[in-house]
Amino acid sequence: MTTGGGLKKTAKMLQVEKRIRRPLERAVPELVNEHGLTGAARRLSVSKATLSYWMLKLGIQMRHVALAPGETIEVKRTSD
């Protein structure tokens, strides 16, 4: 199975997608934002190294932002 960008997912990626019933492209950013890299890896039953590799392979970027008191940040999806 490949994604829209021609990415060939590994058997383990497909297995995890089937188990969580969601594409990794959607699930991983949500899990990492909610639980951090370690927690997301634990919930997906993979190592942090595997999850980091998947993020690289899927083009998922992780950014750290420091906000002053009273500041907020908004994340927008540019395409679906």
pLDDT digits (tens, 9 = 90+) for 35-73: 999 999 999 999 999 999 999 999 999 988 899 999 999
Give start and end residues of each alpha helix (H) in 21-77: 24-44, 48-58
What is the residue whose two structure tokens read 């999850």? 51
1 pLDDT exceeds 80? no
Mean pLDDT lowest among 13-17, 47-51, 73-77 = 73-77
The pTM (predicted TM-score) of the whole model is 0.79
Counting Cα atoms < 13 Å in the Cβ hemisphere of 53 gives 9
Give the list of residues 6+ apart from residue 67 with CB closer than 8 angstroms, or none.
73
25 pLDDT exceeds 60? yes
Radius of gyration of the chain (CA): 14
